Amino acid sequence: MAFGYREWWSKFIHHDRKSFIRLVAIGGLGLLLLGFGSFGIARPSPPSGTASHRDTVQTSALQTQESEIADQVAQILAKIPDVGHVFVSMTLTRSIQSQYVDSAGGGQGTQPVLVSTNNGQEVVPFDQIGPSVGGVVVVAKAAVRPFIRAELSQAVQTLLQIQAYQVLILPN
């Protein structure tokens, strides 16, 4: 095999000189472009591993909500006949958000408005937006049966108001 390669290489260099020169020129141009690619506008580096305190608090709150909702869904799914023990994991893309009445009376405020009453001060809520579910994985021993798998999927879709493509049911 090595002899065939050497023979091909020497034939390529000596007999097909035009192709060899093109190959070397294209390779040199590529290296030149790679070298000059570092010049120009400096781009910021990606964020380092240290997250700010606010990001850490939001992430931990999101993870807490994920586990709480997953536990609630698992308890409900376990009550379906012939299902047994169920493990649920989910990903939220947005946590529960509260909206408050702003000083103009609208509902776009992000900070609560306090109203003085006889009992002290109270927050004036406007609305609360539920979490946004990205996806759910359900693992159950009974999921080997197609009918149970369909029931589990439909139950998760109904409980969380999500589409079928966001639900994955796996047997244990």
pLDDT, tens digit, 9 for 90 and up, residues 68-113: 889 999 999 999 998 989 999 998 887 766 666 665 555 555 566 6
Q: Which helix (H) or strand (E) holds 86?
A: strand 86-94
**Cα→Cα distances 129→94, 136, 145, Å:** 10, 20, 36
Residue 42 pLDDT exceeds 90: no
Which tokens in the block code for residue 52?
A: 């700010």
- Alpha helical stretches, state H, the chain: 2-15, 17-36, 53-78, 146-160
Which of 59-63, 73-77, 122-126 has the highest average model confidence (pLDDT)? Answer: 73-77
